[in-house]
Amino acid sequence: MTSVEKPAECLDEHLQYLDELRESGATNMFGAAPFLIREFGFSKAVAKKVLVYWMQTFGERHPR
């Protein structure tokens, strides 16, 4: 289990969106914050927090 704290603003639908964005290949995931801002109306700071959480927990949520 991860010791990374999930941001209060982060919902499962945000993580799913980022998973689908990754699979689409539309962007390098380091540049995904603007997609979260457009899709969910996040501030830049919140988008970055959600993206960092997604990156830090990706392996746990998608074990090989």
Give tens-digit pLDDT for 29-41.
999 999 999 999 9
Whether residue 4 lies inside any domain: the answer is no
Whether residue 39 lies inside any domain: the answer is yes
Whether residue 7 lies inside any domain: the answer is no
Whether residue 35 lies inside any domain: the answer is yes
Report CA-CA distances (Å) from 34 to 2, 29, 39, 41, 59. Answer: 26, 10, 8, 10, 23
Domain that holds residue 46: 12-61
- What stretches in the chain show pLDDT beneath 70? 1-2
Half-sphere exposure of 49 (CA within 13 A, CB side): 12
The total number of structural domains in the chain stands at 1
CA gap 15, 33 in Å, rounded:
12
Whether residue 2 lies inside any domain: the answer is no
Whether residue 1 lies inside any domain: the answer is no
Whether residue 18 lies inside any domain: the answer is yes
pTM for this structure?
A: 0.92
